[in-house]
Amino acid sequence: MAGVRVLVGTRKGAFILTADEARRDWTVDGPHFPGWEIYHVAASPADPNRLYASQSSGWFGQLIQRSDDGGATWNPVDNTFAYDGETGTHQFYDGTPHPWEFKRVWHLEPSPTDPDVVYAGVEDAAIFRTTDGGKSWVELPGLRTHPTGPKWAPGAGGMCLHTILIDPSNPDRLYAAISAAGAFRSDDAGATWRPINNGLHSLYIPDPTAEVGHCVHRLAMHPSHPQRLFMQKHWDVMRSDDGGENWHEISGDLPSDFGFPIAVHAHEPETVYVVPIKSDAEHYPPDGKLRVYRSRGGSTAWEALTEGLPQEDCYVNVLRDAMAVDTLDQCGIYFGTTGGQVYASADGGDHWQAIVRDLPAVLSVEVQTLR
Amino acid sequence: MIRVELPAPLRALARVDGELQFDLAAPVTQRAVVDAIEARFPMLRGTIRDQQSGRRRPFVRFYALQDDLSHEDPDAPLPDPVASGAEPYLIIGAMSGG
C-alpha cells in the first residue's frame, strides 16, 4: 500500500511523520538528534531508505547523519566542509570585506539517480558534493569564487546557499540560490556558474536590477518542465520560462508578495503554492490568517486556501525549506511553521489538517512518497 | 590515566555513558586529550574544536580543579591531579550557544 513519510527538521531535533495514502492518521516518530538544530532532512529519490540529515548546534558545530533504513537508525558521516583554496572575502553586514567562514549546512540535495551523490548548500555560501554517501565532501569552488563573490552579502539569516535544483533531464545543469546574492546556474555539473538574475528588481540594494545582491528566498521547479522556474524573493514572486535567463513577476493579487517557501503541484506543472508573509519586518501572515495561496495555469490571480488553517490570531512564519509536495494521485501539500505545527493537505490544498501541533520551530519539511 | 567528562550531547553522539578514561604519555596536555577523544570517537571530530583551525569551539569550555583552562596554552602540561586521574577533566557546553 502506498504511503508518505514526512521528514521534519526543527530547532531541537528531527521528526518523521508517516501515514498511508489516505493521509488522515499519522504516526509521529522522534525527536531524532534531540536538542540539535536540524536544518534539513532529505531522502534519496533513488533509494527511499537512504536519508541524510544536517545536524548542528551553536555549541558543537556541524554533523551530517545518514540512515540506510528509512530513518530508524542513523550514523554520522564526514562533517569536514573545507573551502577549496583561498577563501576570499564577501561583503559583511556593514559593507566591509569579510572572509568566508563555514557555519552550517542549510540544504542537502540528493541526486535523483545515485543515492551516494548528494549536494550540500552551506553558510557562508558555497556548494559541496559527496559521491561516496557522505564519507567525504568536496567543494565545487566555481560558485564561491565567481568574480561577483566579493559583492555577495549575508541576509538576516546569514549568507546561506539554501536552494539546489538538479535538472532531471540534464544532470549537468544545476541551479543554486543564495541569500543575498541571487540565483545561479551551472551547465557543466557545477564546475562553473553564472548569475541568472535578469528581471529581478530589488529596492533594498543600491542598483535594484544589479547582476547580484538579490535576496532570493527559494526556487522551485516541476520535473517535467525543468526550463520553468518559480521564485519566492524577499519581496516578489517570480517566474522564468527559459532556465532562469529572464524572470517576470507573477505576484498579481497576493495580499503580500513577501514570503519564504514556494512549491509546485506534483501533477500540474503550472500550479504554484506560496505562503504570504506580511513584510520583511513582520514575519507572520497578513491579518493573523494563515493562508496558502495557489495560482493555476500561469495566472497571476491567486486563490486563498484556508480550510483547516487558523484564520485568526495566527502569527507564525513558514521558513523557506518548510514546504513540500508528495506525488500520490491526489497531490499532497505539506508545510511546517515556526510555531511547531505541520499542516498537510491531501487534496492539493483545498483542505488542511495539522498532523502535529507542538513541535519545536520547524526549519524544514520534505516528503517521500512510498509505493 | 586521565578521566574526561563529556557534555551529554557529545556522550549521546559517541554512544557512551559516564566518564571516559585515557592512558596518555607524559606530558599530558589539553591538545593530547582532545586528540585522544577524536581518535577513539571519530564522530566527535569538529564538535570540540574546529577541524580546520584546530581552535576550541567558542561555546565549549575546558574546566578542571575548579579552574577554567579554556584559554590556557593547549600544549601546556595539565596539573598533576588531572593528568593522574585524581581529578576529572571537564568538557562543558557553555551557558549559551543553543
What confidence tens digit (pLDDT) does each residue in A225-278 have? 999 999 999 999 999 999 999 999 999 999 999 999 999 999 999 999 999 999
Contact list in B for residue A36 (CB cut-off 8 A) is 9
Given CATH 3.40.50.1100, say whether it is the number of domain A40-332.
no
Domains identified in chain B and CATH numbers: 2-93 (3.10.20.30)
Among positive and negative, which fits the CA dihedral B16, B20, B24, B28?
positive
Report the pLDDT averaged over residues B41-63: 95
Q: What is the pLDDT of residue A1?
A: 76
| C-alpha cell belonging to residue A152 | 555577495
A34, A57, A82: residue with CB nearest B97: A57
What confidence tens digit (pLDDT) does each residue in A144-176 have? 999 999 999 998 889 999 999 999 999 999 999
Angle at CA A346, nearest 5°, toward A350 and A28?
130
Contact list in A for residue B34 (CB cut-off 8 A) is none
| C-alpha cell belonging to residue A235 | 519581496
How high is the mean pLDDT of chain A?
Answer: 97
Is the pTM for the entire model greater than 0.95?
yes
A59, A62, A63: residue with CB nearest B97: A59
Contact list in B for residue A63 (CB cut-off 8 A) is 13, 43, 46-47
Ramachandran angles phi, psi of A339, nearest 5°: -90, 0
Rounded distance between C-alpha atoms, residue A228 and residue A242, angstroms: 6
Residues A86-121: b if buried by 16+ CB within 10 A, e if exposed: ebeebbeeeeeebebebbbbbbbbbbeeebbbbbbb
B7, B45, B59: residue with CB nearest A58: B59
Contact list in B for residue A60 (CB cut-off 8 A) is 9-10, 13, 47-48, 57, 60, 93
User: Shortest Cα distance from A339 to chain B (angstroms)?
Assistant: 18
Search chain B and give the residue with CA nearest A104: B46
